Amino acid sequence: MTRALTIRPVELERDGARMIAYARDLFAISFGGTRFADQFGEDGAAFITWIAEKQALARENAGLALLEGEPAGMVLVGPWPDDPAIGYVHHYYLEPHARGRGLGSALDAYAVSILRRQGHRTARLSVARTNRRAIRAYRTQGWSHAGPRADQPEVASHQQPTSRDGTRIFMTD
């Protein structure tokens, strides 16, 4: 039996500590080291500010994934910084108990639908080249490799069609 995954907007006062914990784990899995603390501070407070900035554009840009009503992951999207016509999937994350069960496709569908509804013709996503599990999952969902990301050598690009009219989504890993 498939369990239902739902996604609701993040409520920072209620969900902030969980979002920081998710992001810390995501960064550790993807990059190891101190990258999360280097980018968002030891306490992660800058991550909460960053999420608030995404939600100021559209509340749905930060979603908390719920598995049978209990928190199980997150998805964060928004416009690409250098070109607002491009949507960007900042983060997908599932708790360990929710991984490997096909639930990532629900996060992907949510992100794609939000970006499409916001009028983005294309979208991008970054994933560390060393995060083989995520790369396999993205390829299963139809993403294909599109070359390295110029500003981060440890990250490469992927893409996939997102609609019948040829709109494309770009993912970088």
CATH class for the region spanning 5-172: alpha beta
CA distances from 56 to 30, 62, 100, 163 (A): 27, 10, 32, 27
The model's confidence at residue 148, banded by pLDDT at 50, 70 and 90, is confident
pLDDT in the model for residue 132: 86
* Domain segments of the chain as ranges: 5-172
CB 79 within 8 A of CB 86: yes
| Sign of the dihedral through C-alpha 112, 109, 8, 102 | negative
The three-point CA angle 128-130-135 to 5° equals 70
Cα separation, 40 vs 48, in Å, equals 9
The model's confidence at residue 173, banded by pLDDT at 50, 70 and 90, is very low
pLDDT in the model for residue 3: 64
Cα separation, 2 vs 13, in Å, equals 31
Listed residue (105, 91, 118) closest to 160, CA to CA: 105
**pLDDT (mean) for 28-32:** 87
pLDDT in the model for residue 170: 45
CB 52 within 8 A of CB 77: no
**pLDDT (mean) for 112-120:** 88
Largest Cα–Cα distance in the chain? 44
Higher pLDDT, 31 or 143: 31
CB 91 within 8 A of CB 78: no
Backbone angles phi, psi at 163, to 5 degrees: -155, 165
How many other C-beta atoms can be found within 10 angstroms of the C-beta atom of residue 37?
Answer: 14
pLDDT in the model for residue 35: 92
Least-confidence region, from 7-16, 75-84, 109-118, 127-136: 127-136
CB 87 within 8 A of CB 115: yes
Average pLDDT, the chain: 85
Summarised one tens digit per residue, pLDDT across range 124-139 is 888 888 888 888 888 8
Summarised one tens digit per residue, pLDDT across range 31-61 is 888 999 999 999 999 999 999 999 999 999 9
pLDDT in the model for residue 157: 59
Q: Name 78's Cβ contacts closer than 8 Å, sequence gap at least 6.
A: 54, 57, 58, 61, 87, 88, 90
pLDDT in the model for residue 159: 56
pLDDT in the model for residue 163: 59
